[in-house]
Each structure stands twice: as structure tokens, then as C-alpha cells.
Amino acid sequence: MSARGHEWADASPDLMKKLRSDYNSQKSNAKRRGIEWQFTFESWLKFWGDDIYKRGTGHDKLCMQRFSDSGPYHPDNVRKDYAMQNARTAGVLKRARNYMKRHTTQQTPGDWDIVYRTFFPENT
């Protein structure tokens, strides 16, 4: 589906220009942070859907969050939630990483999945 397809067929050119700018900004921010971006403009629009107007940087706005705060920005590796929840997740993961550094000598990639499922069972 193209950006001008089914859901966005009636969108004004000004709205589509703003959305394209928002998409490019989010993509650039991911690149600046060294995080791979695997969304097309069309898949980004599909991900946000009707919530596109609720996204932003305020505490009452939705943001795109990667599971376990790792991996690429990809439709299968992100969810929508409020910025406050994103900060909570980051804090929990930081504490979990510090705990694992102090209490384990060798870590495997699966360890992070166990920690994430332990702290956030609703996302598994």
C-alpha cells in the first residue's frame, strides 16, 4: 500500500508533507543514535495508524519503543507506548544490566530476553 493509498487517500498534501518530515526526523534520530532503521514511510504510517496524531515527545504523547531497548527499529521489534513508560523501561533495563554485570561472569544473548520477560511479562 502506498502512503497515498487506502488510509491516506484523502490526506491533504500539507499533511502528507508534515508526516514525511516527521518520518525523516525519526529516521535521522535513529541513525544519529546508531540504531538501524527498517521502516519504509508506508510501514511507518501503518504502524502509527490512527495514533499518528498522538505521537510526540511530551509525557502524554506516544512514542515508538524497541523491545528490550535493543535491535533495529522494525515493525516486529517496536511497540507504541507513552514516553513515561519508555523511561521506566530504560531504567529497569539499566538496573538489570548492572545487576547482571555484578552477578554473572558470562552472559549469553538469551539472558536479556529472560530479564525482559521477568520485568515486562505483559510484552511477551
Per-residue pLDDT of the chain (124 residues; tens, 9 = 90+): 444 444 677 889 999 999 999 999 999 999 999 999 999 999 999 999 999 999 988 778 898 989 878 899 999 999 998 866 555 555 555 666 666 666 666 555 556 666 666 666 665 5
For 57-119, strand residue ranges (E) read 62-66, 78-82
- Residue 62 contacts residue 80 (beta carbons within 8 Å): yes
What per-residue confidence (pLDDT) applies to 81? Answer: 87
Q: What is the pLDDT of residue 59?
A: 77
Residue pair 93/70 in contact (Cβ under 8 Å)? The answer is no
Secondary structure (3-state) at 92 = helix
**DSSP states of 13-37 as a string?**
HHHHHHHHHHHHHHHHHHHHTT--B
pLDDT at 117: 66
Q: What's the confidence (pLDDT) of residue 77?
A: 93
| DSSP helix/strand/coil, 86 | helix
Q: Which CATH class is domain 10-123?
A: alpha beta
* Grid cell in block for residue 49: 495508524
Considering the entire predicted model, what is its pTM?
0.65
Give backbone dihedrals phi and psi of 84, rounded to 5 degrees, phi first. Answer: -60, -40
Distances (CA, A) of 88 to 23, 47, 52: 25, 22, 22
